[in-house]
Amino acid sequence: MSAVRVTEGSVKVESCKAPLFYRQSEPVSGEVRAMVLLLHGIRFSSENWLNIGTLDALAKAGCRAVAIDLPGLGQSKSAEAPAAVGELAPAGFLKEVCEQLSLSPVVVISPSLSGSYSLPFVLQHQALVRAYVPIAPICTEKFSAAQYQSVKVPALIVYGDLDTQLGELSLSNLKNLANHSVVVMEGAGHPCYLDDPDTWHKALINFLNTL
């Protein structure tokens, strides 16, 4: 297996008043095939992606992966969120994060709470997005079918079959994305990637290999 380097750092985003913490993994040798931004849900942080091996799996697949702790959460507790929980964040927030971290075009992986950050960004800045991987995100009902149909970037919609609330609600909206495929993880709940990391990593890497 190819060697992987994992580092930690912080990135300044103007609207946040304090830096955002991040963890980064990258292949030690060879060219970087894709750049990936990992977001997280309200009870989680970048640490989850480290613990279940997603940062490792992405780097072994030739990707540079950055997992940030969102404002007010994880090790970014002192950073100010650009919007209240459940409200849409300005699209410029993730645009600035990606610019500061030199992630462009970026694959955005977005579970649960982070939908309030990723959806405005993907819908307004398609040119900066290589692909979108929503995992039962919130706020999908805040956009119209026509808005989703205007998004041409490849999308992999992932949810657990036991997630009968957000999983099914988000699918009913996200299936309007013009260029999407769906992975339903059997026996998995809302944080389906935590319930079955192996299936999650296989689905994700297979998708990235199609880009």
pLDDT digits (tens, 9 = 90+) for 148-203: 999 999 999 999 999 999 999 999 999 999 999 999 999 999 999 999 999 999 99
C-alpha separations of 192 from 90, 160, 167 in Å = 27, 5, 10
pLDDT band at 29 (very low <50, low <70, confident <90, very high): confident
For the chain, the structural domain boundaries read 4-208
Helix (H), strand (E) at residue 173: helix 166-174
**201 catalytic residue (yes or no):** no
Residues forming beta bridges with residue 67, ordered by sequence position: 23, 38
Options 170, 190, 195, 196, the catalytic residue = 190
Rg for the chain, CA atoms, rounded: 16
By DSSP bridging, strand 4-11 and strand 20-27 are: antiparallel
Q: So what's the pLDDT on residue 91?
A: 97
Kindly report the average pLDDT of the chain as a whole number: 96
Options 69, 163, 195, 196, the catalytic residue = 163
Distance CA 119, CA 166 (A): 15
Structure tokens at 76: 């970014």
**195 catalytic residue (yes or no):** no
Options 25, 45, 110, 112, the catalytic residue = 112
CATH 3.40.50.1820 fits 4-208, yes or no: yes
pLDDT band at 2 (very low <50, low <70, confident <90, very high): low
% of the chain surpassing 70 pLDDT: 99
Distance CA 150, CA 163 (A): 27
Helix boundaries (H) for 42-159: 46-51, 54-60, 91-100, 115-124, 145-149
